[in-house]
Amino acid sequence: MKAAAIAILALIVVIAIAVALVVTRRRKEAQRAEQARVQAGEHRQEAQERALQAQATQAEADERAARARREAAAAELQAAQAQQHRTEAEELNRRAAEVDPDVDTDAGQQPVTGDGAGEAPPR
């Protein structure tokens, strides 16, 4: 009977050790899983922050591009207006030369163009 009691006691100890090992293993697995969840959450948070930062950077770049397009369009308009003014000035100079009796184009006098070249001498 003593041998049976010792065997039962040994069996209980082995079962208790096995249960303790299983519980310890599950706790470690649960800790690893929790750490993985925390790390995944941190990665998601960082990814979200970077996505927001990328969005803001893209919006800023889009705004700069739009501003550059507006400025280019304004510059083109200004250049077109300047060309129109030059054309009108040349036309007015041509008309003035046609009606001005003092302009002698055969003598080398040029009509006034406003750019300093060919200006009539002061009278």
Encoded amino acid at 16, one letter: A
Domain membership of residue 110 (yes or no) is no
Report DSSP state, residue 122.
Answer: P
Which domain does 42 fall in, by range? Answer: 2-96
pLDDT at 106 over 90: no
Domain membership of residue 90 (yes or no) is yes
Domain membership of residue 102 (yes or no) is no
Tokens linked to 28:
């470690």
Domain membership of residue 123 (yes or no) is no
First CA to last CA across the chain, in angstroms? 146
Give the C-alpha separation, 110 to 104, whole Å.
8
Task: Domain count for the chain, please give it.
Answer: 1
pLDDT at 111 over 60: no
What is residue 110's three-state secondary structure? Answer: coil
What is residue 108's three-state secondary structure? Answer: coil
Q: What is the pLDDT of residues 9-28, one digit of tens each?
A: 999 999 999 999 999 999 99
Give residue 123's pLDDT.
46
Unique residue bearing structure tokens 């208790």: 16
Q: What is the pLDDT of residues 37-80, one digit of tens each?
A: 999 999 999 999 999 999 999 999 999 999 999 999 999 999 99
Domain membership of residue 104 (yes or no) is no
